[in-house]
Amino acid sequence: MNQHDARGEALSTDRPASVAVYEHALDLFNSLRLDPVAVLQPALEADPDFVSGHLMMTGFMLSAFDAQLLPAARASLEAAAASGRPPTARDQSFQAALHLWAEGDLGRAHRLLDRHVIDHPRDLFALQLTHMSDLVLGQPTMLRDRIGRALGQWSEGDAGYGYVLGMHAFGLEECNEYARAESLGRRALDLNPHDTWAVHAVAHVYEMQGRVDEGIRWLTTGTAHWQQGNALAVHNHWHLALMHLWNEDHASALALYDRAIAPGAASMAMDLVDASALLWRLGLRGVDVASRWAALASRWRDQAAWGWSVFNDVHALLAFVGDGHSPYIETARRAIEAVPPTAPAPWWNEAGTLCEAVMAFGEGRYAHCADLLLPLLPDTRGFGGSQAQRSLIYLTATEASRRAGDTALWKALRSEGMARKAPVVQVARHERLLKAA
């Protein structure tokens, strides 16, 4: 007889011990603590017909967007398909989506996940995976509204309820509802101090509102549990580095890169994204990071899952351009351009333009870079990632215009950026920058 998870979803196993492990691994994944894979693996060996467990493992692997994990993702899917136990309706629906995702068709997979979490709003694992793919696919309103759709089926005492609030907080932030986002993120943390995603949601609020000192306090002394042994440790350190950049404190940002962001033995592609993004931003500011690009480029060479995400692929290209190793640059460009423009995930049509712009910047053709990026600026959502991450495009266009000597464009873009955060950012700083131009 099938068992149920703590929220009532039917799982394809008759073993309570397998469900207990599922719950443990899910809680680790929800809070991004390490290592849900190590927790789940022995249960799959003991219960090889545990379809829901194999699908969970598939989700762990796919959500890393890392080429090195794709074979394991496909093997987990095959193990689910080979199970002698009939899958539950929940597992059938979820499996169909993961199958498309593992084939590289995240766009169609996402449409199935969209329906799956409507039919199974208390399937916390699927909800989190879909939240993550909303982020990768650049759908900020769904970061908020998908969780909103599910919330009506949740109650305060439900296992994992706080994580749902944490996801909603991040979605609200990405929709510029900063006050609600901050309040909800803090409430999620009151319910569960291990909710790293809620820590992250509030950090985003500070970043977007330019509340730098509060943000630094939040990430250094105001929160705990995320700095080590957590899949979001690199990313939250990246947020802390951005706050140092707000303060023009390049030395602290660079020190943070070396201590907590540069690739280590266990770095996943999502960590390499943050490393690329920070080195690129430091380079835009004229900080000499040349010696750090080679190690990062080398990791991207092994871990880039070309064609899965414009966002990830362009971040890999940043490292190759930063490193200046032309064969890698060419490999990246060809891989990105090989994706058919009809790919269901967004922005593959713009990927070639982005590649050309990044390469032009690397070659010192700044006016060309700015010309290419300017038409993309009004709506960068399709690039994927958060608002804070997507601002890389704006920052690159701004610096390219300055280096090109296009003073009018540079002044306009600087003014645009400062005005966007003007309600909180010191107006005096805004005026000082414009006068200095």
Q: Contact positions toward Fe ion, by CB under 5 A?
A: 386
Listed in sequence order, the residues at least 6 apart from 77 whose beta carbon sits closer than 8 Å to its beta carbon are: 54, 55, 58, 95, 98, 99, 102
Structure token pair of residue 208: 């977007």
Cβ-proximal residue to Fe ion, closest one: 386
Give the shortest CB-215-to-Fe ion separation in angstroms.
12
Q: How far is the CB of 283 from Fe ion (least distance, A)?
A: 20
The residue (of 116 and 235) whose beta carbon lies closer to Fe ion is: 235
Tell me the three-class secondary structure of 26-58, residue by residue.
HHHHHCCECCHHHHHHHHHHHCCCCHHHHHHHH
Nearest to 125 by CA among 49, 270, 11, 39: 11
CB of 230 to Fe ion, least distance (A): 14
Measured CA angle at 48 (ends 47, 54), to 5 deg: 105
Task: Specify the residue, 93 or 386, whose C-beta has the smaller distance to Fe ion.
Answer: 386
CB 419 within 8 A of CB 430: yes
Please, which residues bridge with residue 10 across strands?
A: 4
Closer CB to Fe ion, residue 200 or residue 414?
200
Closer residue to Fe ion, CB minimum distance, 21 or 219: 219
Closest CB to Fe ion among residues 201, 400: 201
**Nearest to Fe ion of 214, 356 (CB atom):** 214
We find the least distance from the C-beta atom of residue 140 to Fe ion, in angstroms, to be 12
Q: Shortest distance, CB of residue 383 to Fe ion, whole angstroms?
A: 14
Measured torsion, CA atoms of residues 400, 404, 407, 408, in degrees rounded to the nearest 10: -70
* CA pair distance 274, 328, nearest whole angstrom: 19
Shortest Cβ 293–Fe ion spacing (Å): 22
Phi first, then psi, for residue 27 (nearest 5°) are -65, -40
